[in-house]
Structure 1
């Protein structure tokens, strides 16, 4: 499953109303650490297809979403369960940390 591009328009449907856990990567194109984290997120999404929904929010395109969830540094990964943000991680993390977060 491809990583979803999350926007203000599809956030409620794809994240808040999702039946399974959702991991969102908040990033920006100018962010070096985000470029390092992106392939880790992509691999995590591929390996957890059907169990976890994975999306990315470009904070330059969606500043309201970043502000809504208090994203101050990027990359930030936030786990949503049942429409609620339940856990977050800041900075480049190994894939094992993402897997640990959704357990």
Structure 2
């Protein structure tokens, strides 16, 4: 798996504040059904595209990170580019929309 775990608010700030494209998946350990397909798609894309950095945040372990973004549901996947500018967002287990967002990110 080529998805980096974010374990602090500083790591999150560095990930979204870079010039690179960062895709952050907000999940939890107990979220198997809806979160697993989303993580599989991100893992698949992460191994194919080195232009996009993939991260995961466990909302139960990183309350400060989840709160700073205002996460209300999981899974939530947010894409950032150019020093924290949000360029995409997918709520819930919407694999089709996630794939579309990831394809669009390749064009940035």
Indicate the TM-score class for this superposition, using the shorter chain for normalisation: 0.7 to 0.9
Unaligned ranges ≥5, structure 2: none
- The Cα shift of 1:56 comes to 0.4
1:9-88 to 2 correspondence within 5 Å?
9-16=10-17, 18-31=18-31, 32-49=33-50, 51-86=51-86, 87-88=88-89
Asked if 1:99 corresponds to 2:102, the answer is yes
What per-residue deviation string (whole Å, max 9, x for no partner) do you get for residues 3-56 of structure 1? 11112242222331x23110000001111201221111100111112x111100
Distance in 2 of aligned mates of 1:47 and 1:98: 15
TM-score (norm 2): 0.81
Unaligned ranges ≥5, structure 1: none
CA contact (8 A) 2:41 2:99 kept: no
RMSD: 1.8
CA contact (8 A) 2:19 2:83 kept: no
CA contact (8 A) 1:25 1:78 kept: yes
TM-score (norm 1): 0.84
Corresponding pairs, count: 101
SS of aligned partner of 2:29:
coil
Residue of structure 2 equivalent to 1:90: 91
